[in-house]
Amino acid sequence: FFFQAEDGIRDFCLSRGLGDVYKRQLLEVLDPSQNNSFVDHYLSVPFDLSKVVFIATANKLETIQPALLDRLEVITIPGYTFNEKFDIARRYLVPKAINENGLPPNSIEVTTEALSSTINNYTREAGVRELGRVISTICRKVAVRYSEHLSSKSQQPFETVHVTNEILHEYLGPAAYEFDVRERIVHPGVSTGLAWTSAGGKILYVETSISRGKGKIEITGQLGEVMKESVLTAIGWIKSNFENLGISNDLLTLPNQDPSNFFDSVDIHIHFPSAAIPKDGPSAGVTITTALVSLLTNRKVNSNVAMTGEISLKGIVLPVGGIKEKTIAAHTAGIRTVILPKRNKKDLVDIPEEVKKDINFVFASHVSEVLECALEKKEDPTPENQLEDARNRMNNINRLSKL
């Protein structure tokens, strides 16, 4: 028996008005000590379900009742890598779309570059459902040309349409998604994290800013309670290690600024872009800490580095889940250095070889190791750089003193 729904067993359990009834029935049906004599309440006839295999799907385990989840054997199916998507599209999705749109088998030839662009720039998913729809859109555009050719009653055979990047842009319009990691990490105070979602891994940015104030901490981006606690934990660690972090002189020399009472005289704003999407979980702890230290020390985060991991108040980097999905997301975005908790090293066995060979993994047990890898090194200043730094410092002081 197969539960087929948008979110499978979750929707089956949460159906409006019948949720409790379904839950009780499922608990009885899936319990091997009871389902050998299950009685249907409509027919009032007992059934032996002990030999029946029930298969259900779900996008989120968190919403399934614990008692019900305890009766299930959970098989986690991770998202596809780029190479896997490419092979599926080339071998299955393209021929299927050609056939479904009534085109001859050799009427379309999608170039390698165009298919790669379709995967990277027009879809963003763990599976290939959206990719199949996009390929069907391309085939429908070609089908129009094919029908016009048939209507013209031309004696010439229909010429194969070679789908290139130019034709792709003509058929699908501007790219729906772009990898803008390097464009986003251009100033201190911004870091790149890795998040797990029900649709696979994704890139998560953390942006921070500072201004004169009264010690207010502003957090935006539709965060859950766990993520807000990660922000407070990161700030707590930074406060306890304030003297060892090398805080920028631009901040310590503000007018009327008491360096010993720094955090009571500034306001810090921490923002998570894509504010319309809810975010929660502890794995952004190291990302938040890195963004804040980058802001306070005026050292830019390396744009080729992404990270994930929970931190404690003592700066210990704790293990998190979803390592495979997060690593695949980093690889897809072109990131080549990933910082992971040291205790997650065992999870590398789950990562595909084509992903592992392109990524340099750095395993950290303490947040200081994360900062050492993620923050760009300070160069020895030349006289010209010292003059430019002095000018920038004065501009920053004037700007911040007016806030």
Contacts of 135 (CB under 8 A, 6+ apart): 89, 93, 94, 97, 110, 118
Q: How far apart are CA 295 and CA 247, in angstroms?
A: 9
Nearest to 195 by CA among 266, 273, 119: 273
Contacts of 164 (CB under 8 A, 6+ apart): 111, 113, 114
Catalytic residue among 283, 294, 303, 324: 283
Question: For residue 24, what are its two tokens?
Answer: 């009780």
Q: Are strands 317-318 and 310-311 parallel, antiparallel or unpaired?
A: antiparallel
Q: How far apart are CA 251 and CA 298, in angstroms?
A: 9
Q: How far apart are CA 84 and CA 251, in angstroms?
A: 49
Query: Angle formed by the axes of helices 367-374 and 285-297, to 10°?
Result: 60
Nearest to 370 by CA among 238, 182, 208, 219: 238
153 is catalytic: no
Q: How far apart are CA 48 and CA 86, in angstroms?
A: 45
Nearest to 118 by CA among 172, 199, 181, 180: 172
326 is catalytic: yes
Contacts of 90 (CB under 8 A, 6+ apart): 110, 115
First to last CA, the chain: 64
Element containing residue 155 per DSSP (H, E): none
Catalytic residue among 85, 202, 324, 326: 326
Beta-bridge mates of residue 109: 162
CB atoms within 10 A of CB 55: 11
Q: How far apart are CA 340 and CA 362, in angstroms?
A: 6
Q: How far apart are CA 323 and CA 288, in angstroms?
A: 18
Q: Which active-site residues does the annotation give? A: 283, 326
